[in-house]
Amino acid sequence: MNVNGQNIRFVRRSLGLHVRTMNKSEYVNAYFIPDIDKYNAIVEALKYFNKIPSDILTNLDQLTTKAKEQIEIMKFKQNGLKFLNKKYKVILDYLKEHTDYKIDANNVLAVKSLLGFDEVVELASGQKIINKIPSYDKAVVILDALLELNIIQGDKQELHNKLQELYSTKVMQVNKKGKPNNQDIIDYVKIMYGLNVNNAMISYVRKDKGIQKKRNDSRTVTKNEVNRIPKEKHYKAIVEAMEHFNMI
């Protein structure tokens, strides 16, 4: 069995032993991530050479279990997308032809998982992985495509209602303070439309809608006022968010 220095560093770091922080490229490169057998072998070698302090040895089982779950997740992310792209090729081709959205296989899997079509990936450890949930407008398009291609079956209206309810619940979690602010608007627009808006854009819409603020917004862009003017889709999304939070 061959191991390398990066494999050993990964194991040492998972056990809380002092090592240099691994950078992003090391986390996504299979060369740096040991498989389970290599991980176990490295742990045994560290124990043999007394490189693991007694306080860590006490919690060794718990630490190794957590590390192995992390390895499974990393390996899945490396290999899973290729499998999913092949599995969902028909719907991805359909979406590419019929929509302007950039949608990948992870988005399709996430929508199926949300709607309860038993597509949640379960690791050997029992941990479940749900991929990054797409914005609501993308989810609606994906749902329509799933139904159109008979990939899933069910009452169209009921499924749309369920999807809307799921996203509404998620959006309601955005505003926990009771009094909405700009961050709530930013979060709402991101969840529902996948768009990035900022304080300057919101300030522009507030002014355009005649919504008075207690003081001038010092966060707006003053050097180039054009940067403050949101595109039409951003403008409409901000207005919708304001209406959702009863700000207008």
In a domain, 177, yes or no: no
Asked if residue 204 and residue 164 are part of one domain, the reply reads: no
Range of the domain at 47: 5-80
Asked if residue 40 and residue 17 are part of one domain, the reply reads: yes
Share of the chain above pLDDT 70, in %: 76
CB atoms closer than 10 angstroms to residue 201: 26
Asked if residue 165 and residue 236 are part of one domain, the reply reads: no
Asked if residue 73 and residue 120 are part of one domain, the reply reads: no
pLDDT on residue 131? 57
Asked if residue 29 and residue 64 are part of one domain, the reply reads: yes
pLDDT in tens, 204-247: 998 888 886 655 555 544 545 555 788 999 999 999 888 888 88
Asked if residue 165 and residue 100 are part of one domain, the reply reads: yes
pLDDT on residue 221? 47
Share of the chain above pLDDT 90, in %: 29
Asked if residue 54 and residue 115 are part of one domain, the reply reads: no
Asked if residue 166 and residue 95 are part of one domain, the reply reads: yes
Asked if residue 72 and residue 23 are part of one domain, the reply reads: yes
CB 228 within 8 A of CB 221: yes
Asked if residue 165 and residue 92 are part of one domain, the reply reads: yes
Domain count for the chain, please give it: 3
Cβ contacts of 207 within 8 Å, gap of 6 or more: none
In a domain, 30, yes or no: yes
Residue type, 110: A
pLDDT on residue 96? 94
Give the end of a domain, one of 134, 152, 172: 172
DSSP code for 226: G
pLDDT in tens, 119-157: 555 555 555 555 567 888 999 999 999 999 999 999 999
> Comparing C-alpha atoms, which of 218, 215, 114, 221 is closest to residue 170?
114
Give the end of a domain, one of 59, 80, 101: 80
pLDDT on residue 224? 52
